[in-house]
Amino acid sequence: MAVVDLTHFHESAMLFDRVGFDLDAYLAKAPSPMDFDLRHQIESWMDTGIATFEGVVSFDELDDFLGDIESLCGNPGAFDLEIESRGQRHRLAEIDFNPLSDTGVKFNCLENISKAARQLSLNKFVCEFLAHVFQASPVVLQSLTFWRGSNQPVHTDYPYVRTQSKLSHLAASWVPLEDIHPDAGPLAYYPGSHKPERVRPFDWGDGSVVLEPDSQRSAAELAPYLQQQLNLSGLKPSVFLPKKGDVLIWHGWLAHEGTKTRNPDLTRKSYVTHYTSLDAYPKAHMYPDAFATQRLTHLNGGYVFDKPWVNDAKALPSWR
């Protein structure tokens, strides 16, 4: 099997990951945000692969989003939405269980139908910080909404989230929709694991760093591989126990997991967004005339594009 080549990682690497990046020189020229310490956040990002902001997500926006989900689940036949339950994909309209009570359910891409979801994805602090990370406007690739702990084994996102033209232009935000209880299966991440020299990318076959339909290796093989790499590098997990209003942003190369749900009666309501940069955003995922026709949401310098294949009306309460 070919050895994984790190050239692609370094060639399309984001600015702060480049060898020889000079933070002092960057800060001397960069427009400085009014409302957070840019140096602190970039240092955290470079060192650990995450940035966190406390109390920056408006409770009104969170409540609007929860209202949209309630409305959606009260009328599941009205939207052509995909959900995942116990590893299986379903159309929301076709399920015969309550998506909010069954364990492990996640809603895919609610930003396609919910304005409140778009507002959460395009949070001011997240967009401002990611504009520095990407050196371009951040654009939403997809979102995932969890009602309960995911119990997802340790992984990195880039083998799976890979429609962007520059593989390395990838970051995610994690927004709690309620205070997160330690027994509810919180998110954990491995600080420092975003450096490919510490955690060598998994070889999916013939040196490929992404999962393809014809990959020789399966997703089940990723977690044991990563765990071994993390052990070798001495990297330990940090559990994220945020309060409603907080947000965590992770680097697309960072290893993370959904920890075990110790108390299955507890919810763990959370909203994840994956982003890339405007220049790496896949053209097929937007209308060719999206800017002229405003088939998009532009907020805080970031974008969510209306998808050409989504036919649902903008009918959830948050659009009103």
Ligand X SMILES: O=C(O)CCC(=O)C(=O)O
Residues in touch with ligand X (CB under 6 A) = 144, 146, 150, 152, 157, 172, 187, 256, 258, 270, 272
Q: Which does 150 bind (CB under 5 to 8 A by kind): Fe ion, ligand X, none?
A: ligand X
169 binds, among ligand X, Fe ion, none (CB under 5 to 8 A by kind): none
First to last CA, the chain: 55
Query: Which listed option, ligand X, Fe ion, none, makes contact with residue 187 (CB within 5 to 8 Å by class)?
Result: ligand X
| From Fe ion, ligand X, none, interface partner of 17 (C-beta below 5 to 8 A by class) | none
Minimum Å distance from CB 118 to ligand X? 17
For residue 18, what are the CA distances in angstroms to 7, 10, 23, 272, 311?
12, 7, 11, 26, 41
- Shortest CB 204 distance to Fe ion, Å: 16
Given ligand X, Fe ion, none, residue 247, with its beta carbon under 5 to 8 Å by kind, binds none
Minimum distance of ligand X from residue 291's CB (angstroms): 28
**Nearest approach, Cβ of 72 to ligand X (angstroms)?**
19
Cβ 30 vs Cβ 38: under 8 Å: yes
* Nearest approach, Cβ of residue 81 and ligand X (Å): 17
List binders of Fe ion among 111-150 (CB under 5 A): none
Q: What amino acid is encoded at 24 in this protein?
A: D
Residue 109 interacts with which of ligand X, Fe ion, none, CB < 5 to 8 Å by class: none
Q: How far is the CA of 211 from the CAs of 20, 142, 221, in angstroms?
A: 30, 17, 11
- Is the Cβ of residue 94 or residue 265 nearer to ligand X in the bound state? 265
CB of 148 to Fe ion, least distance (A): 16
Cα separation, 240 vs 182, in Å, equals 9
| Rounded distance between C-alpha atoms, residue 163 and residue 305, angstroms | 14
Q: Which is nearer to Fe ion, 157 or 306 (CB)?
A: 157
Output 153 or 317, the one with its CB closest to Fe ion: 153
Of the two residues 176 and 196, which places its CB atom closer to ligand X in the complex?
Answer: 176
Q: Residue 270 binds what, of Fe ion, ligand X, none (CB under 5 to 8 Å, by partner type)? A: ligand X
Kindly write out the interface string for residues 144-163 of this chain, putting x where it contacts Fe ion by CB under 5 A and - elsewhere.
-------------x------
Q: How many residues bind Fe ion (CB under 5 A)?
A: 1
Which residue, 58 or 108, is less far from ligand X as judged by CB? 108
Residues forming contacts to Fe ion in the complex (CB under 5 A) are: 157
